Structure 1
Amino acid sequence: MPYLTYLAFYLYLLMILIQWAVATFSKAKQPNVTPGKLDDDLSHGSFVFRAHRTFHNTLENSPLFMGSVFLAAMVSSQSTAFTLCVWVYLVARLIHMALYYAIATEKNPSPRSYFFLIGVIANVIMLVLLGFDLV
């Protein structure tokens, strides 16, 4: 696999770590916080809620992305198109994160939804490319 794929994957892992830290420390700064429990009264108007949801949304979407990258490494995929999709996925997730942190909205779709969708499409293309490598 090309070096650029590994670099994007490394940056993705750093993004997850940063999201964890933002979610954890923003919540810990709140008064009377209960460890391991998010206040049921919180919604998108709260940065703590948005940071928590950003991190969990990334965790929910990580298995498919990570599985795609790991499978590509196992089958020695050298596709430039695959590498491009990994970068598109990373950038889409970074923008999704930034918008989730910045915009307090209950509206659906919100601006972050479009970047979520770009990430999903990039991952679907990665799977299709891997399918071609396997046949």
Structure 2
Amino acid sequence: MTNPEFIDAYWGIIALIGVYFVQWAIATMVKSSQPNAIPGKISETLGHDSFVFRSHRTFMNSQENAVIFLPTAVLAFFVQANPTWVAIWLWTYVVARILHMVLYYVISTDKNPSPRSYFFLIGVIANVGLFITTVMAI
């Protein structure tokens, strides 16, 4: 049984999973279209000038963040944290991940911080905000 108060947050999780699917599909298609592509292995010689590298790193970065974000979101639902704040943090995170992805795809730079770094930081803030909102509900 779902709690209707969390419907906006549920849609945020669905959108985030959709982002992960898109990133996975792009990284897979780009990598597999390369000559002599070996499944599961990316050349160590690739850098930010390679879209194969950037699409792979975008997907891997999302996976690294999902390990922290998704369990916190599940716990927020479980402890019935404030549904408004849960939705705000979820959608902030989703938008930040989408903008991080788009900027990583279109900007080839080794510069740090790059424009995508700001959206990574917004995602971190949303992650921490969701965690605090969840802990406050316990």
TM-score normalised according to structure 2 size:
0.94
Name the counterpart of 2:56. Answer: 52
1:130 lines up with 2:134 in the alignment = yes
Hey, what does 1:61 align to over in structure 2? 65
Which amino acid is the alignment partner of residue 18 of structure 2? L
Q: Which sections of structure 1, spanning at least 5 residues, go unmatched?
A: none
User: Corresponding residue for 1:6?
Assistant: 10
Mapped contact 2:27–2:59 kept (Cα < 8 A): yes
* Offset, 1:65: 0.9
- Over 3 Å off, 4+ runs: none
Q: Distance in 1 between matches of 2:72 and 2:101?
A: 21
- Counterpart residue type for residue 64 of structure 2: E
Cα distance in 2, alignment partners of residues 114 and 2 from structure 1 = 28
1:18 paired with 2:2, answer no
Show the 5 A alignment for 1:1-135. 1-134=5-138
- Give how far 1:131 is off: 1.2
AA at the equivalent of 1:50: R
Answer with 74-83 or 56-65: which moved more: 74-83
Deviation readout 1:9-58 (Å, 9 max, x if unpaired): 00100110110110011011111111211011110000000000000000
Which amino acid in structure 1 is aligned with residue 118 of structure 2?
A: Y
How many residues get paired? 134
